[in-house]
Amino acid sequence: MTADYLLGLLLGHMTGDYLLQNQWMALNKSRAASWLPGFTHACIYTAAVLLLTWDFRWTWALVIFASHWPVDRWSLGEKWLDFIGGRTMTEFLNEGHRDIRRWKSGKDVVSLSPSGEKAGLDYLENYRILRGSFTALVYAAADNTIHLLLMWGGWHLLRAL
């Protein structure tokens, strides 16, 4: 794999997964009710990688599609993070507030800051925003890594055949 081909692979991945994925695809690609948003996204993603690697073999197209669609359809990045005990979006959405110690002080909910001092609602909300943002970055990194590893492995498999 040449540096130029690898750059095309990375740019194709980023173009297909970020620049060409609309809200309908992003929010519905892993919903059980419909396969169409995920299928559409995987087709557009495949076209972007083919175009930017300038490699139009049908076997390569099949590798790209087959390495992308299942990861998005079944949220395999989230499942991987859950398997290794990492930060998952599900855990954050369901339990992200539970590790923040709080008590009622009059009518206000108060939390402890890292230094142990009382902090108001602003600290609590800022902490949740920071924690949620970091969790989203961890999920995106896991998802991107899985996509790229599968394509890289598929490329090497094609080369060996």
pLDDT digits (tens, 9 = 90+) for 133-153: 888 899 999 999 999 999 999
The tokens of 87 are what? 């930060």
E-strand ranges in 107-155 read: 108-112, 118-119
pLDDT of residue 133: 83
Q: List, for residues 63-100, the tens digit of each pLDDT value.
A: 999 999 999 999 999 999 989 988 888 888 787 655 55
pTM: 0.78
What mean pLDDT value characterizes the chain? 84
Statement: residue 113 has pLDDT above 80:
no
Given a contact cutoff of 8 angstroms between Cβ atoms, the answer to whether 68 and 147 are in contact is: yes
Burial class for 97, CB neighbours closer than 10 Å (0-12, 13-18, 19+): middle
* pLDDT tens per residue, range 24-67: 999 999 888 889 999 999 999 999 999 999 999 999 999 999 99
Give the Cα separation of 100 and 108 in Å (integer): 15
